Chain A
């Protein structure tokens, strides 16, 4: 069946925009009309609607259904990669994690790490691979590596831990690929022992953060950019409560807390910058 791809009517766009804002907190400005219709096209096709407009008419006529969820998940940008931007991971490997290990070695021997928008899992798995590299006595530590995302579909993919050649060819050092994956034809499966290190669950960052402990490292990379300023501030206030005073918030390459929340201070590690709330000893 051919599905027509014409522009969305303003009323349809407004409906989707409100739905998305309400459920995933993502703000869509007027320029996103084309993006929305192209992302909803596969959903319309998959569900047997002859156009995106028909799909939206269906959404309007019902309370929340599985199709609504699919639409919400399709609208979110989920682009990610292993060791994205590399420099933050270099800083974690060479400075930040060794420092944390030194501080916690004689006390709790515990590390809590949370990736709050983990998409298909490349980010937490990169962290797990770094931990395996730099924590020699890893079995004697309690390391909690949490990873969540708004999208159930992404969490499912992340839990599977199966990646395409295209995905492992990007940004992932070859020696870590060889050490941490098994190859099955054209797909690459993260090894069981790495997978076991990560606990995946679904969470909307703009809802209650239940079951989230105080963390040493909090990754909120390339996600706040999709929210309006008020939502970003609201989330950063929660970060303040969940980040240990000597822990770090790690954002995307082009993101910053500056102008949003002045209780964070920026700490530079080589070519990466992280954020800290309290009295931490810094770099």
Chain B
């Protein structure tokens, strides 16, 4: 079955880049401009396997999104990866404690994203 991913970032350019990479890996990708919109998508469509989550966004931040998602047992299998310019170790700890599975600091490249997905055991089967 095709895996589904949600890319949550208020920058359209960033959504395009991330969606492009995940698309190459065989994911079916949807985008959201902030946490609130992402929650709506999660609640109506689904199930999603992976969400890439920016931190700073208007309305609902990525951090609040992670907290909300982790409140809901039915999203327990959703892997949450922060992709953000918040590069402080304290921020990283907060996000992990809230339930993020991985954390990528911007700037990043495609290889880094693939390596993080490999850590979560959800990279595509590349040879």
B24 on the A face (CB < 8 A): no
Q: Which of A86, A169, A175, A186 is packed against the most chain B CB atoms within 10 Å?
A: A169
Pairwise interchain contact A173-B115, C-beta atoms closer than 8 A:
no
A201 on the B face (CB < 8 A): no
Pairwise interchain contact B89-A174, C-beta atoms closer than 8 A:
no
Interface residues contributed by chain B, number (CB under 8 Å): 18
Known: A86-B119, A174-B103, A178-B96. A169 touches B112 (CB 8 A): yes
Specify which chain A residues have a CB less than 8 angstroms from the CB of B89 in the assembled complex.
Answer: 177-178, 181-183
Tally A-B pairs: CB < 8 A: 38
B11 on the A face (CB < 8 A): no
Interface string of B95-124 (1 = CB under 8 A from A): 010001011110010011001101100000
Tell me the smallest distance from the CB of B101 to a CB of chain A, in Å.
8
Tell me the smallest distance from the CB of A270 to a CB of chain B, in Å.
11
Pairwise interchain contact B96-A170, C-beta atoms closer than 8 A:
no
Interface string of A167-192 (1 = CB under 8 A from B): 00111011101100111001000000
A5 on the B face (CB < 8 A): no
Tell me the smallest distance from the CB of A160 to a CB of chain B, in Å.
19
Interface string of B1-42 (1 = CB under 8 A from A): 000000000000000000000000000000000000000000
B59 on the A face (CB < 8 A): no
CA gap between A178 and B82 in the complex, in Å: 14
Binding site for B on A (CB under 8 A): 81, 83, 86, 165, 169-171, 173-175, 177-178, 181-183, 186
In the complex, 7 of the A-B residue pairs with CB atoms within 8 angstroms, ordered by the A residue number, are A86-B118, A169-B108, A170-B115, A175-B96, A178-B93, A178-B96, A181-B89
